Structure 1
Amino acid sequence: MHSLDADLIIIGGGLGGIAAALSACNHGLRVILTEETDWIGGQVTAQGVPPDEHPWIEEFGCTRRYRDYRNRVRETYERMMSYEKPNQLLNPGNGWVSKICHDPRVSLHVLQEMLMPYRLTNQLILKRNTKLTGVKRRGRSVQELYFDNSDRPLIASYFIDATETGEFLPLAGMQYVTGAEAKADTGEPHALDSADSNDIQAFTFVLAMEYRENENHVILKPAMYNFWKSFHPPIWPAPLLSFYAPHPITLEKREYTLFPKESGFSLWEYRRIYDQKQFKSPIQAGDITLMNWPQNDYFLGNIYEVSKNEKKKNIYQAKQLSLSLLYWLQTEAPRSDGKKGYPGLSLRTDIFETEDGLAKAPYIRESRRIKAEYTVVEQDVSPDFNQGKTGTLYEDRVGIGSYSIDLHPSMTGRTYVDVKALPYHIPLGALIPKDVDNVLAGCKNIGTTHITNGCYRLHPTEWNIGEACGALAAFCIKNQTNPKAVREDKALLKDFQSILRKDGFELEWPGDFYS
């Protein structure tokens, strides 16, 4: 038997992977963290999605480390930018999707800083540009991992799959689910009548743009522009490249505008990450926003559970969609003054450090999901099935979160599913695979259904999931036990939850948190 390369190997450097590494290192484990791109941070950095959070996030509803991350983001702006702090907490972009809409590069800086103490002592080894290619498994135990840039396998006691698409699962021969479950299997009111493994939410290639009025920054016409300009999905009330889309809840025709006006939904302010009015700059700078809108959701095909050629095609077409939307905005979008197009929209290629200006990785809303010891279903979070203010209070809870059940259009032609969900708890059983003892699910790949993935996939919940996995791996190694035993043994579970509480986890919602 070869010696261990680490106590824990985490595959995937997104928010779940980062949180798992911080927690595991804090508990004394030696950790290897791998990431496919050259940026850590996942959806908040390489994918370009500012934190999507619940209304109470400034006071409660996340772990202490997630709050530290948020605080550091604000402190970075206040330390480095000329900013006169108002009486309210800084929201760098004043984007309304989040109370802390900010530049992906700031999150990258903060997360690197948070990991640095462990890297300085070599307790944590970070391997960027590293892709998992193989897994050796014997029975209920994973033994070795193979990577594209290593001439030998890496060995550890525990492994956390924190990849964006759950790519560890098929390589390890583990049981997993994709797409939508059948109503007969889950009893969920919004489940399909028949299961469909291809009913997977759209993914999106985000881009950043700055507006400079009276300037011309029109990009070259994208190769697929004519296709996307004429594309009118059956589920859409107008061509995709327009200021109309289905309302996510009512599905009625909804009007959008680029910039704010008396009526309509302003796309510009939605995910704005830099509000120039808040900062002083030695040069004239415009507002910056991130394009992650209904109009550039790509739902014509997937990038996992498909052939390499199909994946390549869908990535190309999704990128072309985002660039085509930008070109349409620059040249043909109707304006309130009767003119067409906003040529002053400038593609900010520097923000993601990519040649085409698009995010380093696609924003993945829905991953492969483990067959877990416990699967969260719609009934657990729906106000129609729960009498109190929150969803099911699991005995094995390891955190809390809140978001509506928000499903974007799927790759089978289904439109939005957006229904209410109560503030919920995170069950430990959803992080534990049924068929392997030393692997944990560390992000969107936990035991949810297609429906409940819609509320468990956002930033603070993904962080909480990963952080709990890191702590659990450390607890199991220290106590010479395994995750399933921790969940089933009440004494062990109580001890583990006590450690989580001391470490800054919130395991229940406050009794009076909303009226």
Structure 2
Amino acid sequence: MIPHTTFATKPYNPHKTIHCNILIVGSGLSGVATAYEGLLAGKRVCLTEITDWLGGQISSQGTSALDERPTQRSKLFYSRGYLELRQRIQNYYNQLNPGKCWVSDSCFLPNDGHHIINQMLQDVAKKGKGKLYWFPNTVIKELDISNGKLINSVIAIQHKSAKGRPPLNTFPLSQIIKDAYKYENSPRFEKKIIRFIPSQHKQNKNPNWYIVDASETGEIVALADVPYRLGIDPRSHLEPSSSSINNDPYCTQGFTYTFAMSATKEAQKHKMPSFYMRYSPYFSYELKRLANFPLVFTYRRIWNPIQGKPMKFGGVNFTTPMPGDISMQNWTWGNDYRPGTPKDNLIYTHEQLETSGQLKPGNWMGGLRTESLRKAEELSLSYFYWLVAGTTDSRLGKGIKKTHPNHRFLSGLNSPMGTIHGLSKYPYIREGRRIIGRPSWGHAEGFTIWEIDISRRNYQDFYYRQTLSPKTYNSLQVALSGLEAMSAVSGKKLLEETGRRTRSTIYADSVGISHYSIDFHPCMVKSPPEGHSNEERKNERKGAGQAYPFQIPLRAMIPQKINNLLVGGKSIATSHIASAAYRVHSFEWSVGAAAGTTAAFALENNVVPYQLVDKLPKIDPNLIKLQKLLNQNGNHTAFPKTSIFNNNWNDWY
């Protein structure tokens, strides 16, 4: 539990009022994709961002290595904006993979990611005759909600460096985040209070603007106080691989401050950080087959001006690192910070927010634990020192880790991360708050995409027979029996005789697609997470593995209560396990494209998004129109040959 805190607030007078058709909170790939489609639809789009870069994962979070699955990549079956992004990267460098990394077909510099995205949005604004109003260094402070159903206005705070003070991006996030959310000017920042309101007023009761939560942690979801989940879901026939019988909101996936390092001709002098010994017990190559520094360096190499000699390690082909090469580091047993207890969880739960007073008017401070941000920053700086000077390995023992002094930590405003401290401007967040969708047909407690909706796992495995109760196991097998479910329920066919489903769930209200494996970076058992001999939470990786190509249903983007709020990022209605696949670059773009198109469609057709899905399985004519528009625009709502009769997805990896 966190202590009760009272924040000092005072009446505010906005410095300016901005009119929007669509207000997007968060300029990551999801927010950018929302803006992209909104601009092409000719709308006034307002876009806020806590940092000063567009692009999120590929820029301010430093994870500029596109996570993609081989089959989808080979067919280039992506949203039109994501395809344009890939092409612009290709054009910018005259190659798609200037880093010659081996984790992806495209690894590049984060600072370039921002510039590429910026130019994309300028170009589509001209093409679609929309208007883009971008607000960097801006956080959302308050929502004005009427009758608990509509957001009427939004108050934000934009900051810039005070006169005579160091420039922005001098200090890491943990040192400036509390200041950024306060109305008052400070010795560090000058503030501007901005009020966002609709662009036009309608005579009817339908919304006249839409707010899209594309933030990394589900900030507006928390501030609007709509129902949501956080962390582990209880084990059930829908989430059979859950590591807990009960829910655990404190165990979310680890988050990461990335950094860039360059290979050098000469050995560098490296000073041990004062806090290094606190974190050194955590670091490890993890597996003996990965205890190869050139392999780790080139894993996410983002710049490779001179190609080295070809090398092969297991099934991985790469080239030797050369002086001038730049690597971005994002390693589970390196700079992943993985708290999992109420003492150190990063994203505050609803209970913690209430206890701290952040849900009271004017008291919102971002909903994050500053101390965990600070420790994650220290962990990353320590991890660099371990890579170049460390000689211990927490999991593999002595004699494994060698020193590699011919490397330099890259920092400065012109560095790949664009910060004087050298860390990414914002951490890469793998999991935030996840809404619970509205009750619908087959989802009486609120719509959710569950583990079994996407996973390729064999649920007839002995583990599930042993772990689940007989009743839960039978419910699981019935749920997986697809077209044979009625025969199984009626007893006409034994559960063992029903076929195992070999596709993901098909949604009548699909508005987007994605494909990625269920990839886990589990929380640690004890606090602090970097402590000696700490371990990952047992069975958290049980749900990890391959997934079938999956869809993004509109119901997963519509929260309860608020009618003009859409979720366009990682906070859609997924379970803890399913969210581990619904978080990568192409997904963010696809769900953002759906959010932007849906918001524009709703305004133009005088409908509210929930009205398109609240009568399912009966199909609303406007839902068909929306899906047709998405597909015509190159924003796919289904993979090729998707059908309840097609179970042949073995080639999709």
SS in 1 for 2:22: strand
Q: Give the corresponding residue for 1:236.
A: none
For residue 224 of structure 1, the aligned residue among 253, 272, 275 is 275
Q: Distance in 2 between matches of 1:323 and 1:367?
A: 24
Match of 1:154 in 2: 196
Letter of the aligned partner of 1:444 in structure 2?
K
Alignment of 1:79-90 (within 5 A): 90=96
In structure 2, what is the Cα distance between the partners aligned to 1:176 and 1:357? Answer: 34
* Aligned partner of residue 28 in structure 1, secondary structure: coil
**Structure 2: distance between partners of 1:202 and 1:3:** 38
Tell me if structure 1 keeps the 8 A contact 2:238–2:452.
no
* Percent identity of paired positions between Structure 1 and Structure 2: 33
1:389, 1:423 within 8 Å by CA — same for their partners in 2? no
- TM-score, normalised to structure 2, is 0.69
CA contact (8 A) 1:223 1:320 kept: no
Match of residue 83 from structure 1: none
Matched, 1:18 2:57: no
- Counterpart secondary structure, 1:391: coil
Mapped pair 1:73 → 2:89: yes
Q: Is residue 312 of structure 1 aligned with residue 370 of structure 2?
A: yes
Gaps of 5+ in 2: 1-15, 159-191, 199-208, 309-321, 357-364, 439-446, 459-479, 483-499, 526-535, 642-647
- Residue of structure 1 in register with 2:225 after alignment: 173
Does residue 103 (structure 1) correspond to residue 100 (structure 2)? The answer is: no
Tell me what 2:493 maps to.
Answer: none
What is the match of residue 401 of structure 1?
514
Deviation by residue 1:30-52 (Cα, 9 ceiling, x = unmatched): 11000010111111111111211
Is the CA contact (8 Å cut-off) linking 2:17 and 2:194 kept in structure 1?
no
1:276 corresponds in structure 2 to 305
Give the structure 2 partner of residue 414 of structure 1: 537
The superposition leaves residues 162-186 of structure 1 with CA deviations (integer Å, 9 ceiling, x where unpaired) of: 1111111221122211111112484
Equivalences, count: 477
- What is the rounded CA distance, in whole Å, between the counterparts of 1:33 and 1:103 in structure 2? 23
Q: Secondary structure, in 3 states, of the residue corresponding to 2:625?
A: helix
What displacement does 1:419 show? 2.1
- The structure-2 alpha-carbon separation of the partners of 1:3 and 1:291, relative to structure 1 and needing over 3 Å to count, comes to closer
Query: Counterparts of 1:170 and 1:273 in 2: how far apart (Å)?
Result: 35
Question: Which of 1 and 2 has greater Rg?
Answer: 2
Report the AA paired with residue 359 of structure 1.
S
Alignment partners' CA distance in 2, 1:99 and 1:290 = 15
Residues 503-512 or 203-212, more deviating: 503-512
SS at match of 1:183: coil
Hey, what does 1:45 align to over in structure 2? 59
Q: Map of 1:476-495 to 2, 5 A cutoff?
A: 476-488=602-614, 489-495=619-625
> Alpha carbons of 1:298 and 1:486: their partners in 2 closer, same or farther (altered >3 Å)?
same
Code of the residue aligned with 1:314 in structure 2: it is S
- Where structure 1 has 5 or more consecutive residues not aligned to the other structure, the ranges are 79-88, 232-239, 246-252, 261-265
Distance 1:73 1:359 in 2: 20
- The equivalent of 1:81 in structure 2 is none
Residue 135 (structure 1) aligned with residue 143 (structure 2): yes
In structure 2, C-alpha distance between the alignment counterparts of 1:3 and 1:341, rounded to whole Å: 56
Amino acid at match of 1:345: H
| Equivalent residue runs for 1:229-378 within 5 Å | 229=280, 231=281, 240-243=282-285, 245=286, 253-260=287-294, 266-278=295-307, 285-294=323-332, 295-300=334-339, 301-305=344-348, 311-333=369-391, 340-349=402-411, 350-373=415-438, 374-378=447-451
Using a 3 Å threshold, how does the CA distance of structure 1 residues 151 and 359 change in structure 2: closer, same or farther?
closer
* 2:453 corresponds to: 380
1:177–1:338 distance in 2 versus 1, CA, 3 Å? closer
Q: What's the CA shift string for 1:257-313, capped at 9, x where partnerless?
A: 3434xxxxx21121111123359xxxx952111110012211133332166798222
Q: Spell out, residue by residue over 1:139-159, the C-alpha distance to the aligned partner (whole angstroms, 9 max, x if none).
A: 211111111234352113110
Distance in 2 (alpha carbons) for counterparts of 1:152 and 1:37: 16
- Distance in 1 separating the partners of 2:130 and 2:639: 37
Q: Quick one: which amino acid aligns to residue 326 of structure 2?
A: I
Distance between the aligned counterparts of 1:468 and 1:254, measured in 2? 43
Residues 229 and 433, structure 2, Cα contact 8 Å, conserved in 1:
yes
Of 33, 45, 50, the residue aligned with 1:36 is 50
Q: Say whether the 8 Å CA contact 2:39–2:125 is kept in structure 1.
A: no
CA contact (8 A) 1:242 1:333 kept: no
Structure 1 residues 503 and 178, CA gap change in structure 2 (3 angstroms) = same
Superposed CA offset, 1:420-474 (max 9, x none): 2111111111011122110000110000011100000111001100110000000
Which position in structure 1 is the counterpart of 2:258? Answer: 206
Matching residue of 1:249: none
* Pair 1:123-2:131 in alignment: yes
1:257 to 1:6, Cα distance in 2 relative to 1, 3 A: same
Q: Is the 8 A contact 2:569 2:588 kept in 1?
A: yes
> TM-score scaled by structure 1?
0.87
- Asked if the contact 2:233–2:246 (Cα under 8 Å) also holds between the matched residues in 1, the reply is yes
Give the superposition deviation at 1:59: 2.0
1:473 paired residue number: 599
